[in-house]
């Protein structure tokens, strides 16, 4: 069973919603709210790419060109990185081909390797063989046995990636395969901000499967409002709550990783798609969702995955070392919310939360 986050844009409020229905039928009903088309300088388009639902919205004289260009770019990057497409650069690498990578692929892999080092291996793109064994790449879900997992863990080794970043060449050692799914959407949203710059967009918003990045402020000069989705409405104070809270931001990426996004159940146990590279099993760190806020979309995406794997204690320690680069909202399996101090102003909620200094 796969659930995907979808997004619904209301006037001034972006709500992240679990239900696909809301994307298809719930987001219409008046000027400025159509799921596609142009209303008063606003252009908004929905698409399905990178295995998820996306919305790209821009305001301005050249908004149409900006959105067209953005959609083309999303398609181009998806074609480079999709593991489902046998012709993608990633699929070719994973078959052991010796490639000269496109600049974006080389850049993304270089960033992924860097993040892997910084997060003590919590983030690791060489997790692919395990993703495949668990069936997350195909949808044929299964629970691999401990012996199989141990064998596959030998192939998880970012240190073996020999990327010549100047020439852009990479050949994967035998058995090593990569999956950019933990960072690709953030890289893409960051790239779309550059396109918004090029077309001098007045205001813009992209949501790539619930990964949001905001461009400047709303056209009325107020910040964008992003709803933080409830990862589990069965626990503690999250019971019966629609949204955990609201973030009011400009020029920031807001990216959430949670075990509820993609998972299957077997014999009453839930297995989700964020794996702990240390164990080969779905990360079981006590966190049920990690939201990262950063002006760097790519970093935000990688860190949302990495901090989810690390768990609260390590995540907070990591933030204290890198607090200039990002902020977080952590939610644990009892529904407790912790917010880093940089978000104190931006975050509002009726629930209890603790500010981390
Ligand atoms: P989503 O893409 O669902 O929004 P994430 O950004 O957390 O959520 O990315 C999860 C994806 O990252 C998985 O589907 C898989 O492709 C990849 N992945 C899973 N575990 C890891 C990990 N420990 N390090 C890097 N990538 C991972
Ligand atoms: Mg991520």
From ligand 2's centre to the CA of 62, what distance in Å? 31
From ligand 1's centre to the CA of 178, what distance in Å? 11
Query: Residue 330 forms beta bridges with which residues?
Result: 290, 338
Residues whose beta carbon lies within 6 Å of some atom of ligand 1 = 123-125, 127, 131, 136, 179, 181-182, 185, 209, 211, 257, 261-262, 273-275, 277, 301, 304-305, 309
Residue among 72, 55, 33, 299 at smallest CA distance from 186: 299
Distance CA 91, CA 85 (A): 7
Distance CA 153, CA 126 (A): 10
| 156 Cα distance to chain centroid | 21
Distance CA 294, CA 300 (A): 6
Average pLDDT per 10 consecutive residues for the chain, totaling 357 residues: 38 40 33 47 96 96 97 98 95 94 96 97 98 95 98 95 87 94 97 98 95 96 96 96 97 94 91 97 97 98 98 98 98 98 97 98
> Helices in 22-102 by DSSP H: which ranges?
63-81, 89-94
Position in ligand 1 atom list of the atom nearest CA 301 = 6
Helix (H, G, I), strand (E, B) or coil at 63: helix
Distance CA 163, CA 154 (A): 20
- The answer to whether residues 44 and 56 touch, using CB atoms and an 8 Å cutoff, is yes
Atom 4 in ligand 1: residue holding the nearest Cα: 257
Distances (CA, A) of 84 to 80, 163, 173, 273: 11, 23, 21, 16
Query: For strand 42-49 and strand 37-39, is the pairing parallel, antiparallel, or unpaired?
Result: antiparallel
Longest dimension (CA), the chain: 60
From ligand 1's centre to the CA of 313, what distance in Å? 20
Helices and strands (DSSP H and E) totals, the chain: 9, 19
Contacts of 321 (CB under 8 A, 6+ apart): none
Residue 36: what pLDDT? 52
Contacts of 176 (CB under 8 A, 6+ apart): 126, 155, 157, 160, 161
The residue with tokens 């298809």 is: 24
Which of the listed residues 122, 182, 278, 315 should we mutate to test ligand 1's pocket, taking the one with most ligand atoms within 8 A of CB?
182
Atom 10 in ligand 1: residue holding the nearest Cα: 182
Residue 40: what pLDDT? 58
């Amino acid at each position: 069973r796969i659930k995907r986050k979808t997004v619904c844009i209301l006037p001034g409020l972006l709500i992240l919603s679990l239900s696909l229905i809301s994307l298809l039928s719930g987001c219409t009903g008046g000027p400025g709210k159509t799921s596609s088309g142009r209303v008063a300088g606003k252009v908004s388009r929905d698409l399905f790419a990178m295995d998820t639902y996306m919305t790209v919205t821009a305001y301005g004289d050249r908004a149409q060109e900006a959105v067209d260009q953005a959609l083309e770019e999303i398609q181009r990057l998806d074609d480079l990185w999709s593991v489902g497409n046998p012709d993608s650069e990633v699929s070719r690498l994973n078959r052991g081909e010796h490639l000269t990578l496109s600049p974006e692929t080389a850049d993304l892999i270089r960033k992924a390797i860097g993040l892997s080092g910084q997060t003590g291996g919590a983030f690791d793109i060489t997790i692919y063989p395990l993703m495949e064994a668990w069936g997350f790449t195909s949808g044929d879900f299964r629970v691999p046995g401990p012996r199989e997992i141990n064998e596959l863990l030998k192939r998880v080794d970012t240190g073996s990636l020999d990327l010549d970043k100047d020439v852009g060449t990479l050949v994967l050692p035998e058995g090593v395969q990569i999956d950019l799914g933990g960072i690709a959407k953030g890289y893409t949203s960051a790239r779309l901000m550059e396109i918004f710059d090029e077309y001098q967009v007045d205001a813009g918003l992209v949501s790539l499967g619930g990964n949001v990045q905001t461009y400047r402020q709303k056209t009325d000069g107020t910040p964008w409002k992003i709803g933080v989705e409830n990862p589990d409405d069965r626990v503690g104070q999250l019971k019966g709550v629609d949204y955990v809270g609201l973030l009011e931001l400009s020029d920031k990426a807001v990216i959430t990783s949670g075990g509820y996004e993609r998972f299957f159940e077997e014999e009453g146990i839930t297995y989700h798609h964020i794996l702990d590279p240390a164990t080969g099993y779905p990360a079981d760190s006590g966190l049920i969702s990690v939201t990262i806020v950063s002006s760097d979309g790519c970093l935000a995406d990688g860190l949302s995955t990495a901090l989810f794997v690390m768990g609260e204690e390590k995540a907070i320690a990591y933030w204290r070392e890198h607090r200039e680069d990002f902020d977080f909202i952590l939610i644990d399996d009892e529904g407790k919310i912790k917010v880093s101090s940089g978000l104190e102003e931006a975050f509002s909620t009726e629930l209890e939360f603790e500010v981390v200094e």
